[in-house]
Amino acid sequence: MRKFLPVLLIAALGVSGCGYVRDSRLNPFNWFGSAESRELSAAEAAAQDNPLIPKRSAFANKPDADLRDRIAGLEGLVVERIPGGAIVRVTGISSSVRSFDVGLRELPGTPGVARYEMVTYLPEFPATGPVQTRRYTAAVRLSDTELAQVRTIEVLSASNALTSRR
């Protein structure tokens, strides 16, 4: 108890002096002053980068260029009517087993013709197999608005083309 009372008195004196230290330069909270707000100019806002987003990332968007090759041949083209448009379904034969990311890529065409090419990525080490293991199907949806302008649908491959007319 003898040591507790003097420590309590010294602490009380020290805390009572904080009013003086609060506004002095000894207080580290006063070293930088208060914050000021201002609007960024358009040039500053455009040039500002977020340091938390890396420049190169595994989650970056794919490049705009489509590097897929045309599929070897086409077997069938079916245009199925659905509410609000149609589905164009194409079956093709790849030159290799284990092709991936098969799809229909739109090509610029003449008015009244919708042109597509069936494309795929080929594996690094191509392997042949039976036709059943190399058959792939891809589809694209066309709305009624797009179909109103189209009279012919044409799909291209490396060796042949299939056409469907109204």
The confidence score (pLDDT) of residue 141 equals 94
Rounded Cα–Cα distance for residues 74 and 121 (Å):
16
Write out pLDDT tens, residues 36-72.
Answer: 434 446 665 455 555 566 556 566 565 667 788 889 8
Burial of 16 (0-12, 13-18, 19+ CB in 10 A): exposed
The confidence score (pLDDT) of residue 17 equals 63
Low-confidence stretches of the chain (pLDDT beneath 50) = 31-40, 45
The confidence score (pLDDT) of residue 93 equals 94
The confidence score (pLDDT) of residue 66 equals 77
Residues 6+ positions from 95 with CB-CB distance below 8 Å: 71, 72, 122, 126, 128, 134, 158
* Domain edges within the chain: 70-165
3-class SS of residue 29: helix
The confidence score (pLDDT) of residue 40 equals 45
What number of CA atoms fall less than 13 Å from residue 5's CA on the CB side?
A: 2
